[in-house]
Amino acid sequence: MTTSAARAGILNLSKSLAVELAAEGIRVNSVCLGLIDTGQWTRRHAADGSGLDYPAWQARLAADRGVALGRLGRAEEVAYAIVTLLSPRASYITGTAIDVCGGSAAASSERHP
> Given this model, what pLDDT does residue 78 score?
97
d(CA 89, CA 3): 32
Listed residue (31, 100, 109, 51) closest to 72, CA to CA: 100
What is the reported pLDDT for 105? 64
Which percentage of the chain shows pLDDT scores above 90? Answer: 84
**pLDDT averaged over every residue in the chain:** 91
Query: What is the mean predicted confidence (pLDDT) over 3-28?
Result: 94
Looking at residue 109, what is its pLDDT?
Answer: 46
Average pLDDT over residues 30-49: 95
